[in-house]
Amino acid sequence: MSIEKFFKSVLIAFLMIPLGLAQSLRESFDYAPNVLDGLGEAVDGWGGPWTIFAGSPEIMYVVEGSLEMSGIPTSGNSLMGSMTSADGDERAYREIVDIWPDIGNSYWISYLMNVNNISFNEQSWQGVSLYLSDTELVLFGKVWGLPNYGLMAHTLGGTATTSLFTWEDGLVWTVIRINMSGDTQNERCFMWINPSPASEPDTSLADVIADLQLNDGFDRVVIHFGRNIDLEASFDEVRLGTSFQDVSSQYTGVGVDENQRVNQFELSNNYPNPFNPVTRIDYQIPQTANVNISVYNSIGQLVTVLVDEMKSPGKYSVSWNATNQNGLKVPSGIYIARMAGNNYSATRKLTLLK
């Protein structure tokens, strides 16, 4: 590792602590049945809602019921897509608040995917990708034109796969580990199909091993499929984390630490402050409560509601992306975050500088 890369890694690692980089992300599609475009908020490490950037919004939609596989915890609904054009494709992304960087660490990814019929041709694909801004870095799933319906990792611009796993149509739980190199070398990826969720899988027994190019990290999760009019695809329980437990265990919520006893309500100061355009607010509750955290402008007008739901005791965090709200730009200025629940009320001043 070069001196420049070393100091860059140290700096990024240092910055990750105060910026509160989410240690795990989860998408369970816990929304009312609807088209996917626009669903989701800037909370729990996510930078905003799902955005359809290729294809038609009506092709990718949330349906009732989760995909069910023994031992894999799920909740909410699931995502369904049906291709309506022989040469069409469908792509949707969700931003991550902070870039997950290449600092020599490991990242884990898992998701449930169902191929509802075998209708792949020489140009079909289906899976979950990681992007950096508008650039696709890697696709996990059934990649372009795979003739034997294999499941593999793929690097844009050419495959780097060293093994291949074949499976029929139906539901699979895919788990990926990416060992970030911490330098300009490619990252090593291991993929397992339907491993036991009870223990971390062995890299020497991975179904797929591939070298990937994620030297600058990633900041988007993309779900996409296409190129066959009969193709139907379903996705559920997309998770990212820094440990196998993050992507396999019963989920209790990003930012929640149930092992630490909480004895009082508390709304912490946001960080960073001043900020542009994303800031994080930590809070804790000692008992089950209906918690509301809302942001108001300097003249008392409601700008957005960050949290409004029943919460179990624990420590939580929520992010506010002040890029825009309800289609309107959020100007620089002083804002007030107010938390209320079980006769508790507190406010904190947020300073947005653009």
Phi, psi of 318 (to 5 degrees): -140, 145
User: Where do the CATH 2.60.120.560 domains begin and end in the chain?
Assistant: 3-248
pLDDT at 254: 38
Give Cα separations from 290 to 175, 180, 266, 313, 340 (angstroms). Answer: 35, 40, 14, 11, 8
pLDDT in tens, 129-174: 999 999 888 888 876 666 455 566 655 545 555 566 676 667 889 9
Give CATH superfamily name and number for 266-352.
Macroglobulin (MG2) domain (2.60.40.1930)
Q: For residue 151, which of 161, 139, 165, 162 has the smallest C-alpha distance?
A: 165
- Cα separation, 114 vs 116, in Å, equals 6
Give the CB-side neighbour count of residue 271, counting CA atoms within 13 A: 12
Among candidate residues 42, 46, 98, the one with its CA nearest the CA of residue 321: 42
Cα–Cα dist 306/272, whole Å: 17
- Go through 338-348 and write b for each residue having 16 or more CB atoms within 10 A of its CB, e for each that does not: ebbbeeeeeeb
- pTM (two decimals): 0.65
Architecture of the domain delimited by 3-248: Sandwich (2.60)
**112 - beta bridge partners?**
173, 236
Closest CA to 246 of 110, 47, 93: 110
Cite the residue boundaries of each domain of the chain with CATH code 2.60.40.1930: 266-352
| pLDDT per residue of the chain (354 residues) written in tens, 0 to 9 | 444 444 444 444 433 433 334 468 999 999 999 999 999 999 888 999 999 999 988 899 999 999 988 788 888 899 998 877 777 889 999 999 989 999 889 999 999 998 765 566 666 778 899 999 998 888 888 766 664 555 666 555 455 555 666 766 678 899 999 999 998 888 898 988 888 888 889 998 888 888 888 889 999 999 988 876 677 889 999 999 988 888 987 643 334 444 445 788 999 988 888 888 878 788 888 888 899 999 999 999 999 998 888 887 887 878 788 877 766 778 999 999 999 998 899 999 999 998
Q: What is the pLDDT of residues 216-250, one digit of tens each?
A: 999 999 998 887 667 788 999 999 998 888 898 76
